[in-house]
Chains A and B, each alone.
Chain A
Amino acid sequence: MKLLLKNISLPVADFSIEVDVELRSPVTAIFGPSGAGKTSLLDLIAGLRRPASAFIQLDDRVLTDTAVKTRVPPRRREMGYVPQDLALFPHLSVRQNLLYGQKSGSRAAPVFRFEHVCEVLAIQPLAQRRVTDLSGGEKQRVALARALLSSPRLLLLDEPLARLDQALKAKIIPHLRRVRDEFHLPMLYITHDRREVLALCDEVLELRRGRITNRARATATDWPVNNDET
């Protein structure tokens, strides 16, 4: 995977996200406190926000280039986006949610088969349920499966475990690991939890007020605890 984020300038509330980076790791963590601009950066990559300037390229495909007014619309970006609030469609069943991205005729045969994805995430028994009746951990897995079934080329995960308690986190992490290992899908993983970074990611970018303040391999030795962070 090669994700180029060049010359990014995206004004948000009271600061501007300024990023210039090339990512090659399979799973990259974007780590930082809330309000650092992590979600806005993910929205930008997914095409949901318009930057002041940006050049975004995934592998050999240019997605955004403000210099020549190129902007691939979100539906053609092939990004599997799992937002923090999951955004499961409340009026559709679990199955309808899962198939929402697969049905779009614009894509070739799905890379990830329905049965396989459901099995990896252990959600076969949920298919007929209403999404409003699911537990937090179940919703998380369904949202992840829905993103996978749209056959994305990059998975964008926004704090996928933040709203789960410790016991549930421990249950979901192996699922995420399996997704990573079974589907060989590159991921951008937003979090503010060190343990998740060390458990799942290869590389970590620290983001503060829109700037990358540190970049390291995601191991305990290469990325020691920083004392000024809590």
Chain B
Amino acid sequence: MNAEEWQIVWFTAWVSALSTLVILPFGLAAAWLLARRDWPGKSLVETVVTMPLVMPPVATGLILLKLLGRRGPLGRFFHETLNLDIVFTWRGVLIALGVMSFPLLVLCARIAFDQVNPRFEQIARTLGAGEGRVFFTITLPLAWRGILGGMTLAFARALGEFGATIMVAGNIPGQTSTLSLSIFQHVQLGQDAQAYRLLGVSVALAFLAVWISECLLLRSKWPGRK
């Protein structure tokens, strides 16, 4: 592996990890609201949250491109007020990965919250705990393994993202090239050896991520579950 290939691997790994961390608070909030509260429009929000999972990634990417480009409503705001460009930068990669892996995190975290017996939360309240304390000392610790599993799946999804990323960030060597984009490009150019090397790295990373997730989910048989 040469320096350029290592750069691609490193970039893909950290931008995937960062996107997982960035979506974590939003994903947990959405999952908690879906699992623990009833509100008007809940099924609509649930559907919208799941959309990136079922839509063609390229279509999601096109929506993001139009929103985040300099002439798009969000992109213009970032460009004019913060002097930040999103599209065709690593920030575009980050957002594409976050949007694409968000549904997986929310689905897993929601199941994890659902499995926490609400009786524990109720009794914590009778013992004087406010909503924040209940969440951080009861709900979150009891749901933690499932959430961790969801984070791992989100990370794995981000590692393999292609369609949305290429729309929003292109494939700029040294800037927005990820593993998937590079593999595709190497194959296009007939550079099989490079493609296979990156393929090996992808397989290793993906295997590791899903395997850790499986182990965590299997071990999540807390006595605190319903």
Chain A residues packing against B (C-beta within 8 Å): 43, 46-48, 73-77, 79-81, 83, 85, 87, 89-91, 100-101, 104, 106-107, 132, 146-147, 150
Q: What B residues does A79 contact at CB under 8 A?
A: 126
Least CB distance, A85 to chain B, in whole angstroms: 6
Q: Give A95 Cβ to nearest chain B Cβ, in Å.
A: 14
Nearest neighbor of B124 in chain A, beta-carbon distance:
A100
Cβ A107 vs Cβ B224 within 8 A: no
Inter-chain contact A48/B122, CB cutoff 8 Å: yes
Task: Tell me if B222 and A81 are in contact (CB < 8 A).
Answer: no
Q: List residues of B (106-144) whose CB comes within 8 Å of A's CBs.
A: 117, 119-120, 122-130, 133, 137-138, 141-142
- B122 and chain A: residue at smallest CB distance: A48
B window 135-193: CB within 8 A of A: 137-138, 141-142
Contact between B129 and A48, CB atoms less than 8 A apart:
no
Q: Which residues of B contact A43 (CB under 8 A)?
A: 122
| Contact A90-B222, Cβ < 8 Å, known A83-B119, A85-B119 | yes
**Interface size of B as a range:** 20 to 34
The docked-state distance in angstroms from the alpha carbon of A89 to that of B222 is 11
Residues of B within 8 A of A150 (CB): 126-128
**In the complex, chain B residues whose CB is within 8 Å of the CB of A76:** 128
- Nearest A residue to B120 by beta-carbon distance? A87
- Give chain A residues whose Cβ lies under 8 Å from the Cβ of B142: 90-91
Question: Separation in Å of the A132 CB from the closest CB of chain B?
Answer: 5
Shortest CB distance B44–A (Å): 25
B223 within 8 A of A: yes
Closest-CB distance, B149 to chain A (whole angstroms):
17
Of the A-B pairs whose beta carbons lie under 8 Å apart in the complex, a sample of 6, sorted by A's number, is: A43-B122, A75-B127, A76-B128, A79-B126, A89-B224, A104-B133
A100 and B223 contact, CB distance less than 8 A: no
Contact A46 B126 (CB under 8 A): yes
Distance to closest chain A CB from B214 (angstroms): 22
Given known contacts A101-B127, A101-B128, A104-B127, is B122 in contact with A74 (CB within 8 Å)?
Answer: yes
A100 CB contacts on chain B under 8 angstroms: 124, 127, 129, 137
A106 to B125, CA, bound (A): 12
A90 to B142 alpha-carbon distance, docked (Å): 8
Please name all residues of chain B whose beta carbon is closer than 8 Å to the beta carbon of A80 when the two chains form the complex: 126
> What A residues does B133 contact at CB under 8 A?
104
